[in-house]
Structure 1
Amino acid sequence: MLADIKKELINHPDKLKDVLEHFGYCNIVIRPKYISFGRDEKSSKKSIVINLENNEYLYTIDYARNIRKDIFSYIIEQRKVEFIDVLNEVRHALGITDYYDFFDNKGIFGGFYEKIRKRRTNKVNTYDDSILDCYVNCGNIRFLADNISLLSQKFFKIKYDVESQGIVIPIRNQFGQLMGVKERFNYDVPDGEMKYFYAVPCSMSQTLFGYSQNYEFLVDNTIYIFEAEKSCMQCYSYGIRNCVSLGSGSISIQQVKMLLELNPKRIIFLHDVGYGLENIMRNIDMVKNYSRFTEVELGYWSYFGRGYENKVSPSDLGKEWLENILQNEITMIGDEDDEDEL
């Protein structure tokens, strides 16, 4: 979907100009093949360029600062705003009320993602953030003891449901819009019984937890994929931002599409201990099927035979242990070790 937004902006450079002006960029000139502009009135008028041809990821080149980033990451970093702020302005500039209806009706999906589009994406319901007002805005000791810092809890807007005694986890779509509310009971739950439930149901297969919050750290980078939402929050506490969570063990077609729109260099699956190699490889094959024309490298956490406790996530083990795992226990597809295991 982000690929379609970028394509729309390239096709309508006047709308891209509106977005740039909103965030304070000056002396914007639209040429047939590129847009040039300056950081402010005092800077060079041509120090920043966006090519309008052969630029599907909408990279912005800031020659003065030797920066090359996609337009969203560039604005986020340089103007110190959030991803959703940029997307909201893009929506305003393009006159979009609902992203899903807009692109489905226009039928502009195509090219590399046409195969994905043929399996139609379900409409994703979104909600105003005001529905979270019924919950208490406070940190949680249980999460704190589970390596989720108070700063991380604040960043992901964790709240508390007094009535159900549940820790509230807002679930957002790739544009940062609220699409559901998940809760974790704030008391010990016997093994095998339900710990989590949805206070506001949503289809997790249509999003990736942490995608909108970590966007600028995911683009053109290695992406670590975990199962549970808490892993992203733990990683934030460790200072690791290039990660997302599936919300389950299996990756969906929509999630694959979202990952590939980030132009990742490597995708590493970090499943919980006990998730079988056959299932891990099924997820990797899913990404392979849609990344044949890219150079993304694929790998996974090879926890097998290392004595880890069942169901533990690598992020549960703490920052130093997780860093060791990322350095020493990742098997890349095509490695000799991988071939031996298979």
Structure 2
Amino acid sequence: MNNDLTDIKKRILEEDRLKEILNLMECEEVKFKNNRFEAMLPPKFNSDSTRSVQAYQNENISCRIRTRSVSNIDIFDLISYIVFDCYDDNSIHKCLPKSKRWLCEKLGYDEYLNGFARTEPKKDHLRWLHDLKRKRSKQKHQIKENEIFDDSILSQFVMYPHVKYLDEGIEYKTQLEFQIGFDIQSERLIYPIHNQFGEIISVKGRTLELEYELKNIPKFLYLIPFNMMYEWYNWHRAMYYIIEAKEVIIYEAEKTSWLSTQFGIRNCLSIGGGDISEFQVQLIKSLGMEIKIVLAYDKDKTAEDIKKQAKKFGNTRSVFAMWDGRKVFSADEKHSPTDLGEEAFKQLYEDRHQYRII
């Protein structure tokens, strides 16, 4: 069966049918971006994120569901989750034959339905066209290192602190440190994204439109596309403090790192989302065994969500959760660890070693 799965994935890529599969699963707003397809979960999941589902154009067709902290899965696992409502590793594994059958029936791959591939494949009179398409597809979807931009790229923006962030508790000097600015053209607050060496690789923008959800406007977007899986936000600033403290605090949003730094806790990084990539895991591991890892997720994430991320670091690292045991923060409001001010944050921070995951 494993050979079948490999052959099916190869055929999907050769025939460029990944977008079609996402549509068949009733995913919405399917779009190609860099080296992957992104989409919104089907309506039954009640999700409004257009980047929730991500399916990569690699030979394994790696997938993840950002808003559900589901990663390290392939296209068959994604079908199990979305089509057959299998939400844990065990049920996803058991559902594999059913997911394979669903996919083969939808795509007309009848030769794989009996558990083995057809020994005498049909003659493909358009093989030359498929080969040409595959070559072009590989050229188009090739993974590249993030492009580096000179600091002068920020000259196109108004690089001064903004009253919006002042109202949210982010002090003037903190905004200067993290290079908060404003883009007149897109009418968004902006800040640069750096790689681990401190070089600018992107600029992220936040809308000032209060009714952005009603108007279907993304709250955040990258004004310069890049592959966020390869980077940790704030790595180049926090490295010294992480090594000195022998501990790294991992937040979801960049803003949480700003306020954490403002509150005196500088050994912090942000994912820029909710799901930690394998590359990001390896960067943390490269700092050494003695580095404690503290996952400080927003309040709307469940214990299972956090445990799933913790497992990515293996069983030889000390991983803790900054967990709201005092019941101060609100899941409905999706509070981050810094949203209720310095005093509430410091209480949460002081309790961080009480909740060890690994």
TM bin (shorter chain): 0.5 to 0.7
Matches within 5 A, 1:1-342: 123-191=145-213, 193=216, 194-220=218-244, 221-263=246-288, 265-288=291-314, 292=316, 296-303=317-324, 306=327, 308-310=329-331, 311-328=334-351, 330-333=354-357
- Percentage identity across paired residues of the two chains: 27
State the 1:191 CA deviation.
4.9
Q: Is contact 2:292-2:318 (8 Å) kept? A: yes
1:145-187 Cα offsets, whole Å, 9 max, x none, are 2222111111111111012211111000111111111001124
Matches of 1:222 and 1:121 in 2, distance apart?
32
Deviating 4+ runs (over 3 angstroms) = 189-193
Closer, same or farther in 2 for the Cα pair 1:282/1:142, shift >3 Å? Answer: same
Matches of 1:249 and 1:257 in 2, distance apart?
17
Matches of 1:134 and 1:177 in 2, distance apart?
17
List runs of 5+ in structure 1 lacking aligned partners: 1-119, 335-342
For structure 1, which segment, 140-149 or 223-232, has the greater mean C-alpha deviation from structure 2 after superposition? Answer: 140-149
**TM-score, L = length of structure 2:** 0.55
What SS does structure 2 have at the residue aligned with 1:316?
A: coil
1:322-341 Cα offsets, whole Å, 9 max, x none, are 1100112551125xxxxxxx
Q: Is contact 1:121-1:254 (8 Å) kept? A: no
Matches of 2:223 and 2:356 in 1, distance apart?
38
Matches of 2:223 and 2:206 in 1, distance apart?
10
What SS does structure 2 have at the residue aligned with 1:315?
A: coil
Q: Is contact 1:147-1:237 (8 Å) kept? A: no
- Number of aligned residue pairs: give it: 210
Q: Is contact 1:158-1:168 (8 Å) kept? A: yes
Closer, same or farther in 2 for the Cα pair 1:253/1:168, shift >3 Å? Answer: same
RMSD: 2.2
Matched to 2:341, the amino acid is: G
Matches of 1:282 and 1:122 in 2, distance apart?
28
Matches of 1:303 and 1:121 in 2, distance apart?
39
Matched to 2:229, the amino acid is: S
**TM-score, L = length of structure 1:** 0.57
Matches of 2:211 and 2:251 in 1, distance apart?
22
List runs of 5+ in structure 2 lacking aligned partners: 1-141
State the 1:305 CA deviation.
8.1
State the 1:266 CA deviation.
1.0
Closer, same or farther in 2 for the Cα pair 1:164/1:241, shift >3 Å? Answer: same
Matched to 2:234, the amino acid is: G
Matches of 2:274 and 2:211 in 1, distance apart?
21
Matched to 1:309, the amino acid is: S
Q: Is contact 1:231-1:315 (8 Å) kept? A: yes
- Structure with larger Rg: 2
Matches of 1:306 and 1:275 in 2, distance apart?
14
Matches of 2:225 and 2:143 in 1, distance apart?
17
Matches of 2:298 and 2:143 in 1, distance apart?
27
